Amino acid sequence: MDIKHIAIIPDGNRRWAKRRGISKQEGYEIGIRKLGYVLKWCREKDIRMVSLWGFSTENFLRDSAELSMLFDTFSKKLSLALARKAENEKYGVRVRFIGRPDYFPADIRKKIKSLEEETSKYSKYQVNLFFGYGGRNEILDAVNRIAQDVKAGKRARVDERAFEKYLYTAGTPDPDMIIRTSGEQRLSGFLPWQAAYTELYFSKKLWPDFQKKDFMKAIKWYETRKRRFGK
């Protein structure tokens, strides 16, 4: 089976840093750097869409010092991504941010908007970065928007297809497979609606330790699955 859309929960950066006696910031920076390798591996397998969970709504509950460090790291990495215009053009990569970017500081919101606008013309590959994302929030926001449309007389009833148009991921196909690293065997609120029939693969490796051989092992596992979609 071909994979058209793969999603990843890159978990374990903090634990990896703690085990090596380095700072959380170093752990996160190494983890973010690993994302670039994953995109390369996906191109080699001709996987055209990749979704990466970068920051959940629950992550905003972390202490202020860690949040400040994370926001600083995100800002620097976004600046680097904006500077890679030639690379984005070479591979035809569209970058889309999914979630609630309004939760982030103004400079990050500005860079997110710029990166989306600059890559919107590309269509060969698409990278979805879930920032400020929570699955329950997504569904609640969708329900509230539907209620507003019903009240305004714009809609009388809602079926599955109509509901999906109110989600943050509107227009994006459901992932064929979700990979979560670090040994945790749960989705933690990642794509609860979209992952109803997604194949789930859990790796014991902490994210910075996740290598190409681990990625290819996951792909081979997926190829053994028989997807019935409830039929």
Is the pLDDT at 44 greater than 90? The verdict is yes
pLDDT in tens, 136-153: 999 999 999 999 999 999
pLDDT at 15 over 90: yes
Domain boundaries, given as residue ranges, for the chain: 5-134+173-223
The stretch 96-125 carries a mean pLDDT of: 95
The per-residue pLDDT for 226 is 85
Q: Tell me: the pLDDT tens digits for 170-228?
A: 999 999 999 999 999 999 999 999 999 999 999 999 999 999 999 999 999 999 998 88
Sign of CA dihedral 96, 101, 102, 106: negative
pLDDT at 230 over 80: no
pLDDT at 86: 81
> Hunting for tokens 């500077």 — which residue is that?
83
**pLDDT value, residue 208:** 96
Helix axes 212-223, 24-44, angle to 10 degrees: 50
Question: Which positions are annotated as active-site residues?
Answer: 11, 59
pTM: 0.94
Size (the chain), residues: 231
Q: What is the pLDDT of residue 157?
A: 87
More confident of the two residues 229 and 26: 26
Predicted confidence band of residue 156 (pLDDT cuts 50, 70, 90): confident
111 is written with which tokens?
């860079």
Contact residues for 114 (Cβ-Cβ < 8 A; gap 6+): 82
Q: Which two structure tokens, joined as six digits, stand for 30?
A: 């190494």
Instruction: Give the single-character DSSP code of 134.
Output: -
Please report where in the chains the tokens 């904006």 appear, as a residue: 82
Tokens 């400079």, residue located? 107
Q: Is pLDDT at 127 greater than 80 in this prediction?
A: yes
Q: 5-134+173-223 has which fold?
A: Undecaprenyl pyrophosphate synthetase (3.40.1180)
| Cα distance between residue 160 and residue 184, in whole Å | 30
Q: List Cβ neighbours of 200 (8 Å cut-off, separation of 6 or more).
A: 177, 178, 180, 187
| For helices 64-83 and 24-44, angle between their N-to-C axes, nearest 10 degrees | 40
Per-residue pLDDT, 191: 98
Query: Mean pLDDT of all residues in the chain?
Result: 94
Span 58-93, pLDDT tens digits:
999 999 999 999 999 999 999 999 988 888 888 999
Q: Please list the alpha-helical segments (H only) found in the chain.
A: 13-19, 24-44, 64-83, 85-91, 106-119, 135-151, 160-164, 212-223
